[in-house]
Amino acid sequence: MINPAESGLTLQQRLSRSFLFNELGDRWISRRKIIAGSNTNLMELGEIKYQDIYDFYAKAIANNWNGEQFSLAKDEKDYSQVSEVERKTVERVLASLVFLESELLDNYYVIVPYFTAPECTLVASAMIAQTANHTNALSNAVRGVVTQQERDPLYNSWRTIEKMRERNKLINNRFLEFTNKPLVVNFIDDLVISLFIQVVMIPSELSLVYSLTRRGRLPGTFEILRHIQRDLDVHSKILTSIYHKLLEENQSLNSTELKDHVVKLIRDLTNLETDFTQFLTEGMIPGLNNLMNAKFTQAQANKVLKMLSLDPLFPGVGGQPIPWFESYSEIRTR
């Protein structure tokens, strides 16, 4: 295995999985690396090198909740009274969220074996547990709101509705690039795509359900969704910190080539999500329209770019295109 202390990583360099029983690994904290290090790979946390990443573990596990704690009694009644378009939108959003959370969960299991810093492995364990909890909570929402006969079509919609299948297949294929070819550039892509899902895709789709909450509908589903969003806010900060630490350790990666690559990836994903949210709503959700949804997606994409210390792709989008979104999604923490 190449020691990045001696030679910085390159974008096309192939990574090797880390293995626990590494008798030749060293324990010097100064030589610890995010990936491609040469340590023992034991969970030794007596000394901490990546303090900010380590601190996120405590923040993540402090968000302890489960879907069963929220009543869905009113949601079931509300659901029978919303319009057909709104019902279809909610079902498609829930189906999309199940898919996106499943992709995130699977991807964490793929990338964690490549970490060679115990701080990253520790905090990833919290992300995995919480993402699994998200999928369970979403299943509770589906069971509590959607009738029995509608559940199978909902769970199958990711592959039976062409627009959803097309979007989901593109996301899955991008994740599979690292699985099939574990290059440094594909590892970075996995970090960026996961970040984009958390900061752009999921919030863009949550806003469609929050619009119903503003009219007093689906309060239990709303609580589940904004608790998911609170977790994802911490997860996105974790991935951002890992991204920056990786580049700091390997200045050879911090290049125009990588910046252009990441910007193109985010542009492509933004176009994909803009098109998808318009498909979800059919332009018929009260209080929202296609232009507002598109601007919101672009604003969130700019947020991702800022988190990655890159210039905005959509400089003309300022403020919050959906002005009520933050007040509805925020959960006050102790």
Q: What is the pLDDT of residues 237-295, one digit of tens each?
A: 999 999 999 999 999 999 999 999 999 999 999 999 999 999 998 877 878 888 999 99
Q: How far apart are alpha carbons 121 and 258 in whole angstroms?
A: 25
Q: How far apart are alpha carbons 195 and 21 in whole angstroms?
A: 31
Residue at 15 is within a domain: no
Look at the chain and report how many structural domains it folds into: 1
Q: How far apart are alpha carbons 268 and 322 in whole angstroms?
A: 22
Q: How far apart are alpha carbons 16 and 183 in whole angstroms?
A: 9
What single DSSP character describes residue 26?
B
Q: What is the pLDDT of residues 279-320, one digit of tens each?
A: 998 877 878 888 999 999 999 999 999 999 999 999 988 778
CATH number at residue 69: 1.10.620.20
Residue at 36 is within a domain: no
**Looking at this protein, which amino acid is placed at residue 190?**
D
Q: How far apart are alpha carbons 11 and 252 in whole angstroms?
A: 9
Residue at 32 is within a domain: no
Residue at 45 is within a domain: no
% pLDDT > 70, the chain = 97
What single DSSP character describes residue 13?
P
Flag whether pLDDT at 220 surpasses 50.
Answer: yes
Q: How far is CA 97 from CA 136, 187, 201, 204, in A?
A: 11, 23, 9, 11
Q: How far apart are alpha carbons 331 and 194 in whole angstroms?
A: 22
pLDDT at 166: 95
**Residue the block writes with tokens 């909450």:** 213
Q: How far is CA 166 from CA 78, 161, 171, 212, 238, in A?
A: 31, 9, 9, 27, 29
Flag whether pLDDT at 91 surpasses 80.
Answer: yes
Contact between residue 82 and residue 212 where contact means Cβ atoms under 8 Å apart: yes
Residue at 58 is within a domain: yes
Using alpha carbons, select from 175, 154, 176 the residue that is nearest to residue 164: 154
Q: How far is CA 207 from CA 204, 234, 322, in A?
A: 5, 19, 8
Confidence grade of residue 7 (pLDDT, cut at 50, 70, 90): low
Mean pLDDT of 71-93: 90
Residue at 252 is within a domain: yes
Residue at 258 is within a domain: yes
**Residue the block writes with tokens 């074996």:** 113
Q: Write down the mean pLDDT value for the chain.
A: 92
Structural domain including 109 reads 52-329
Q: How far apart are alpha carbons 115 and 124 in whole angstroms?
A: 10
Flag whether pLDDT at 3 surpasses 50.
Answer: no
Residue at 297 is within a domain: yes
Confidence grade of residue 64 (pLDDT, cut at 50, 70, 90): very high
Flag whether pLDDT at 227 surpasses 70.
Answer: yes
Using alpha carbons, select from 11, 45, 47, 20 the residue that is nearest to residue 181: 11
